C-alpha cells in the first residue's frame, strides 16, 4: 500500500505516468465516471481549507465514489483529545482512502504508519503540500508541453511559501531548469534551499528584488500570497503584502507565451485586470488540481481503467 | 596521579571530549546498570590536551553503540575481556536515532502527541545533519568536531 507524503515520493517516471493519466482524464472524463463506484474518500481536515478539501471531494465524486469527513478540528474527535494515530485507525474502518490536512507538521506521516488505507498529505503546516505541487507540474506540463529547459520565476513570499519550496525540489529533477527568485529581502528563500538544494545541485538561479526586471526572460511566473498567518506581527505583514503586485503594465513586459500560476487564494498580488489575459492560467490550474487528484486517487487505490 | 584498577570484562570509552563524560553516562543510561563505572575527567591526552574516559564493568551487549556514534563518533571504544583489550570498535554515525534527542519545532506533531517516538534520520553524513522524521526540522550535533 502506498501513501503520498511529499511530491518526491514519486519517481520522475511515476510522476510522468500520473500526469499522463491526469491528461487522459481531462480528455475523456466519461471513461472514468464510474471508476470508483462504491469507494469512499475520507477528508480529515484538522484546519479549514475549502479549496483543497472541495478539490479532493470533487475528484472523488467525478470518479463515481462518495466522500465523508470533517472540515475542522473542532468538529472532529481531536477536540476530545484523540490522537491522529487513533483517528486514522477508525477512519480505516469507514473509508477506502484518506486525504488529511493538519496544522502540525508530520501528522499525515504519523497517520500513514497506523493506517490500513492509503493516506494523502493534503497539507501539514508549513511542511509539505504535495497535491499542490502535482497540480503545478500538471499545469506547466499540459500548457507548455514539457517540464525541462525553462526559466521559472518565483515571486513573493519565498521564505514561508511551502508551495515554492516543493516546486523547486520537484523541478530540479528535470534538465535545463533555471530559477529567478523575486522577493523582498525579508521574504527571501531560506538558506537551506539556496545552499543545500540549488547550490549543492548546481542549479542556475538569480535573486532579484524587482518583478519588472525579471519578467521579460521568464517562461513561467509563479506568484505567491504573502500569508498573514506566517507573520508574528501585523505591522510587518501590512508593510510587505503589497510589495509584488502583478499588473497589466508589468505583464506587458513578459513573453507572449509566459504562464502566470498562483496556488490561490490570491489577495491582491495579481490585479484582477490580468485575469482575462490568456497567460493568466491560475483558474485553469485549479481545474488541473481536480484532474491530478483524480489520477492520484486511482493510482493509490490501484484502479486502472481500460 | 590517580589510579583506577583495570576491568575484567566491559568497555573503556576513551578520547571523550573533556567535560562530556557525565552527559554520555546519562545518555548511555549507565545509571540504570548495576555495575562498576569509573568516570575520569580531564585526563591528560597527547592528542586532545584534555580528555574524559569512562570505564564500565559490564557485559559488552549492554552498550548501545548507535547512541554513542550519534553523540560523538570520534570516541574510541575498547572492548575488554579477561583483563585484556580484545577489540577496538569503530563508531559510525547511525542512520537513525530513536528517543535520544527531541524535536524542538513547536509546529511538529511530536509537540502535541507525546507518545510518539522521537526519531531523527541522518540526511547529510558529511555535515552530520539529522532531521526529524516527521517535520524534517534540522538537528546539528553540538558535539561535532
Q: What is the ipTM of this complex?
A: 0.86
CATH number for A130-283: choose from 3.40.640.10, 3.40.50.300, 3.40.190.10, 3.40.50.1370. 3.40.50.1370
- Give the three-state DSSP class for A262: coil
Task: Find the mean pLDDT for residues B5-30.
Answer: 89
Q: Is B105 on the interface with A (CB under 8 A)?
A: yes
Catalytic residue, from A51, A89, A173, A266: name it.
A51
Residues of A with CB under 8 A from a CB of B: 83-85, 102-107, 109-110, 124-127, 192, 196
Q: How far is CA A49 from CA A92, A101, A225, in A?
A: 22, 8, 15
- The top-level CATH class assigned to A7-128+286-301 is alpha beta
Look up the pTM and report it: 0.88
Residue carrying the nine cell digits 464510474? A34
The full DSSP string for A144-207 is HS-SSSEEEEEES-TTT-HHHHHHHHHHTTSTTEEEEEE--GGGPPPHHHIIIIIITTT--EEE
Residues of B in contact with A84 (CB under 8 A): 109, 113
Catalytic residue check, A39:
no
**Cβ–Cβ of B107/A125 closer than 8 Å?**
yes
Catalytic residue, from A101, A141, A162, A262: name it.
A101
**Cβ–Cβ of B107/A126 closer than 8 Å?**
yes
Q: Is B113 on the interface with A (CB under 8 A)?
A: yes
User: What pLDDT score does A43 carry?
Assistant: 97
Catalytic residue check, A228:
no
| Domains in chain A: boundaries | 7-128+286-301, 130-283
Residues of B in contact with A83 (CB under 8 A): 113, 115
Q: Which residue of A has its CA nearest to B113?
A: A83
Mind listing the pLDDT tens digit for each residue in A22-63? 999 999 999 999 999 999 999 999 998 889 999 999 999 999
Q: Is A17 left (phi over 0), alpha (psi -120 to 50) or beta?
A: alpha
Residues of B in contact with A77 (CB under 8 A): none
Residues of B in contact with A196 (CB under 8 A): 124
Catalytic residue check, A51:
yes
Mind listing the pLDDT tens digit for each residue in A71-85? 988 877 777 789 999
**Cβ–Cβ of B134/A106 closer than 8 Å?**
yes
Residue by residue, pLDDT tens for chain A (306 residues) are: 999 999 999 999 999 999 999 999 999 999 999 999 999 999 999 998 889 999 999 999 999 999 999 998 887 777 778 999 999 999 999 999 999 999 999 999 999 999 999 999 999 988 999 999 999 999 999 999 999 999 999 999 898 888 999 999 999 999 999 999 998 888 899 988 998 899 999 999 999 988 989 999 999 999 998 777 666 678 877 777 666 889 999 999 999 999 999 999 888 889 999 999 999 999 999 999 999 999 999 999 999 998
Residues of B in contact with A86 (CB under 8 A): none
Q: Do domains A7-128+286-301 and A130-283 have the same CATH topology?
A: yes
Q: Which residue of B has its CA nearest to A200?
A: B124
Amino acid at each position: 500500500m502506498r501513501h503520498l507524503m511529499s511530491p518526491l515520493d514519486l519517481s520522475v517516471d511515476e510522476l510522468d505516468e500520473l500526469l499522463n493519466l491526469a491528461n487522459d482524464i481531462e480528455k475523456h472524463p466519461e471513461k472514468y465516471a464510474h471508476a470508483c463506484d462504491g469507494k469512499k474518500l475520507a477528508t480529515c481536515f484538522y484546519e479549514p481549507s475549502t479549496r483543497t478539501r472541495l478539490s479532493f471531494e470533487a475528484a472523488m465524486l467525478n470518479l463515481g465514489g462518495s466522500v465523508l469527513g470533517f472540515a475542522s478540528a473542532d468538529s472532529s474527535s481531536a477536540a476530545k483529545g484523540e490522537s491522529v494515530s487513533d483517528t486514522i485507525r477508525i477512519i480505516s474502518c469507514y473509508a477506502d482512502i484518506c486525504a488529511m490536512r493538519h496544522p502540525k507538521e508530520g501528522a499525515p506521516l504519523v497517520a500513514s504508519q497506523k493506517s490500513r488505507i492509503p493516506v494523502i498529505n493534503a497539507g501539514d503546516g508549513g511542511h509539505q503540500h504535495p497535491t499542490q505541487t502535482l497540480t503545478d507540474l500538471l499545469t506547466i506540463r499540459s500548457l507548455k508541453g514539457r517540464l525541462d529547459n525553462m526559466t521559472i520565476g518565483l515571486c513573493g513570499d519565498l521564505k514561508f511559501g511551502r508551495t515554492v519550496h516543493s516546486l523547486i525540489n520537484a523541478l530540479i529533477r528535470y534538465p535545463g531548469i533555471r530559477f529567478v527568485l523575486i522577493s523582498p529581502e525579508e521574504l527571501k528563500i531560506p538558506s537551506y534551499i539556496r545552499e543545500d538544494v540549488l547550490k549543492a545541485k548546481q542549479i542556475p538561479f538569480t535573486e532579484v528584488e524587482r518583478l519588472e526586471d525579471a519578467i521579460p526572460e521568464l517562461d513561467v511566473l509563479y506568484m505567491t500570497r504573502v500569508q498573514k498567518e506566517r507573520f508574528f506581527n501585523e505591522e510587518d505583514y501590512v508593510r510587505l503584502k503589497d510589495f509584488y503586485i502583478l499588473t497589466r503594465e508589468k505583464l506587458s513586459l513578459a513573453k507572449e507565451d509566459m504562464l502566470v500560476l498562483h496556488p490561490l487564494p490570491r489577495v491582491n498580488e495579481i490585479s484582477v485586470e490580468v485575469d482575462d489575459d490568456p497567460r493568466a492560467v491560475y483558474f485553469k490550474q485549479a481545474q488541473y488540481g481536480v484532474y491530478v487528484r483524480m489520477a492520484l486517487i486511482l493510482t493509490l487505490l490501484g484502479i486502472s481503467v481500460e | 596521579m590517580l589510579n583506577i584498577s583495570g576491568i575484567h570484562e566491559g568497555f573503556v570509552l576513551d578520547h571523550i571530549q573533556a567535560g562530556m563524560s557525565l552527559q554520555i553516562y546519562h545518555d548511555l543510561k549507565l545509571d540504570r546498570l548495576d555495575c562498576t563505572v569509573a568516570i575520569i575527567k580531564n585526563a591528560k591526552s597527547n592528542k586532545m590536551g584534555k580528555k574524559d574516559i569512562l570505564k564500565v564493568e559490564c557485559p559488552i551487549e549492554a552498550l548501545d553503540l548507535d547512541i554513542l556514534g550519534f553523540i560523538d563518533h570520534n570516541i574510541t571504544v575498547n572492548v575488554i575481556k579477561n583483563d585484556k583489550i580484545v577489540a577496538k570498535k569503530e563508531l559510525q554515525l547511525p542512520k537513525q536515532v530513536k528517543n535520544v534527542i527531541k524535536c524542538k519545532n513547536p509546529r511538529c506533531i511530536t509537540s502535541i502527541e507525546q507518545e510518539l517516538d522521537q526519531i531523527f534520520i541522518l540526511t547529510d553524513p558529511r555535515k552530520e545533519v539529522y532531521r526529524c522524521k516527521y517535520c524534517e526540522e534540522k538537528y546539528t550535533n553540538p558535539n561535532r568536531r
